Structure 1
Amino acid sequence: MTLRLGDTAPDFTVDSTAGTINFHDWIGDSWVFFFSHPADFTPVCTTEMGRTAQLAEQFAARNVKPLGLSTDSTEEHLRWIEDVNDTQHTNLEFPIVADADCEVAQLYDMIHPGESETSAVRSVFIIDPNKKIRLTMTYPMTVGRNFDEILRAIDALQTSDEYTCALPADWRKGGEVIIPPSISNEEAREKFPNGWEELRPYLRLTKV
């Protein structure tokens, strides 16, 4: 199944380390960082799970719920969490989906046969409170994710939504934003009272 930006994230009901999860109900009014990993008790995955747990306050401050997934069982996840906590010096509290039959992984196109026939690659889905897919990333099994970029991308999406703006290359929270060409100067004066720098008629930079 091919999932595109703007699609409604497919719903599912599945067992997890936090009990049975109905995905759309679980999302509630939050954003979601839904990510897959190839296997429990493996080195790169252990560091990624640990990093997600270490960033719990950062995700919570953005109203984001992390949700992990692999094709291992709940029992394996629970045993592995002990290793994650011990080796990464953290306390992992977010749920990890148990997808032993690969149903959710197939639903979200997380199985890439060129990498593995049975294990998920490192997929990322950022999903908004309306259950819409807003951003996707896919990493190979040997390369861990960049969590600075994941948080930056979430900041960018939330800023774009709040201010009806676009974000330039390498944007960081607090940096200048772009007034979209679809917004006239008259509308922009109302939306962006700080004014703007016009580098070109189509490139107006402002602070929000």
Structure 2
Amino acid sequence: MVIIPFLIGAGSGLSLIVAIGAQNAFVLRQGIRREHVLPVVLICGLADAILELLGVAGIGLVVERAPVLLEIVRWGGVAFLLWYAWSAARRALRPAGLVAGQADAASLRQTVTACLAITLLNPHVYLDTMVLMGSLGNAQGDPDRWWFVLGGALASLCWFFLLGYGARALTRFFETPRSWRILDSVVAVTMLVIAARIAFGGIGA
């Protein structure tokens, strides 16, 4: 039955993306600010879907067997996460802070660029989607692996839409600069922890 590989794909995808990370933190922040939410959730969801498709198509095997490429991704990801942590810490320390609905709005181009960077410069995205999801999908065999991809892709899209638009319910909690300082402080510490785990434990840490 096609519903079984579909549900396995959806469950596997959700288990990998429903976690604190740079991408989810970015989507949450955009949702709270109600700023370019649709492009952000579409980029995140479609990127996951495309990478999962490539993984099931066999590209994940190539990535897994290219240690030099993985090392480049690893240290590029560490540098990116440190930059993201520094940016969040700088926002948290700004005297004026940020208030939902009152912060200087970023342009659509700036937001899309930042979203692509957060998505594609994160080393975990390749391990999770292309390698892990690719391996799990191929284990289903033909044609079930394609239903697995569909399940994973729809799960990603649903999650990011829920996170981006559901974050609006938190807007009233972010009406003071102090609330934004707390959020950005948590994001900064989280990104530092993830960067340290990748640097000292590898991408799969």
Higher normalized strand content (fraction of residues): 1
Q: TM-score, normalised by structure 1?
A: 0.21
The higher-RCO structure (CA 8 Å, 6+ apart) is 2
The two structures have a TM-score, normalised by structure 2, of: 0.21
Greater CA radius of gyration, 1 or 2? 1
